[in-house]
Amino acid sequence: MSAAPTPTSSSLEPLIEFRGISKTYGQGQAAFLALSGIHLGIRQGEFLAIMGPSGSGKSTAMNILGCLDAPSEGEFLFQGVHVERLGRNQRALLRRHYLGFVFQGFNLLARTSAQENVELPLLYRGESALKRHTAAREALARVGLSGWERHTPAELSGGQQQRVAIARAIVTQPLVLLADEPTGNLDSHRSHEIMELLVQLNREQGITVLMVTHEPDMASYASRIVHFVDGEIASDTEQEVRTCS
């Protein structure tokens, strides 16, 4: 497998940049233009919320940002690396070393403890058992779950399960955390708890957070909101960051 690409840091460049990104699915009369010439720059340390109706292109943009899909046209740069030029294996390595993912469904292994769930990304990396155990306990502590390491998902509330999923996403110390409707399966109280945790990780750990959400109340925690409509950016607005309780 090819080596992981090594990003180069520069305070003058965005951490992530879309330059004329388009994505087309299908061919001929069945072709569907999901994204049309998107230009977007994301600075390191931002908390960006991506919003838009179904079919607006926001999920396609998130998939490209997460190196889960490749654009049909345009340039996608991650700290100077042209991701659109990378092969599938190189994109997988970039995901593994620089990105963390949180989904609406918690995607935890049902018969596996919280600690073992969090260790999984490190297991895929081939890290030693001692390093996995230590890093997983530290990640669980960062999301407020010290003492819950041995509990299985069935023994945890929905909010706790999402915290385990977030711990799993940050155990590799990623530069970017991509959250796809992270509060979609939670009640209002737990949703705000998770959003406050994401804000904390963004502010205190410097993790860049990119979040897809349908909920304006959840987007209010972000420092910037980008609205997609019909495959294009309809608005891009910075806002005063919501104060957590």
pLDDT tens track for 5-36: 565 544 568 999 999 999 999 988 889 999 99
Residue 242 has pLDDT above 80, yes or no: no
Average pLDDT, rounded, for the chain: 92
> For position 13, what pLDDT does the model report?
80
- pLDDT tens-place string over residues 200-233: 999 999 999 999 999 999 999 999 999 999 999 9
- For the chain, strand residue ranges (E) read 16-25, 32-42, 47-51, 73-78, 81-82, 99-102, 176-180, 208-212, 224-229, 232-238
**Phi, psi (5° rounding) for residue 107?**
55, 40
Taking residues 113-127, report their average pLDDT. 94
**If DSSP codes are grouped into helix, strand and coil, which group holds residue 206?**
coil
Q: Would you place residue 124 in the very low, low, confident or very high pLDDT band (cuts 50, 70, 90)?
A: confident
- pLDDT tens-place string over residues 34-65: 999 999 999 999 999 999 999 999 999 999 99
For the chain, give every domain's residue range: 16-238
The DSSP annotation for 8-77 comes to ---TTS-SEEEEEEEEEES-GGG-EEEEEEEEEEE-TT-EEEEE--TTSSHHHHHHHHTTSS--SEEEEE
Rounded to 10 deg, the angle between the 158-170 and 129-142 helix axes is 130
> For position 241, what pLDDT does the model report?
73
| DSSP category for residue 107 | -
Residue 174 has pLDDT above 70, yes or no: yes
pTM of the model: 0.90
> For position 3, what pLDDT does the model report?
54
Tell me yes or no: is domain 16-238 CATH 3.40.50.300: yes
Q: How many CB atoms lie within 10 A of CB 204?
A: 9
> For position 90, what pLDDT does the model report?
93
> For position 6, what pLDDT does the model report?
61
Alpha carbon 141 to chain centroid, angstroms? 20
Q: Percent of the chain scored above 90 by pLDDT?
A: 86
Taking residues 58-82, report their average pLDDT. 95
**Phi, psi (5° rounding) for residue 4?**
-65, 140
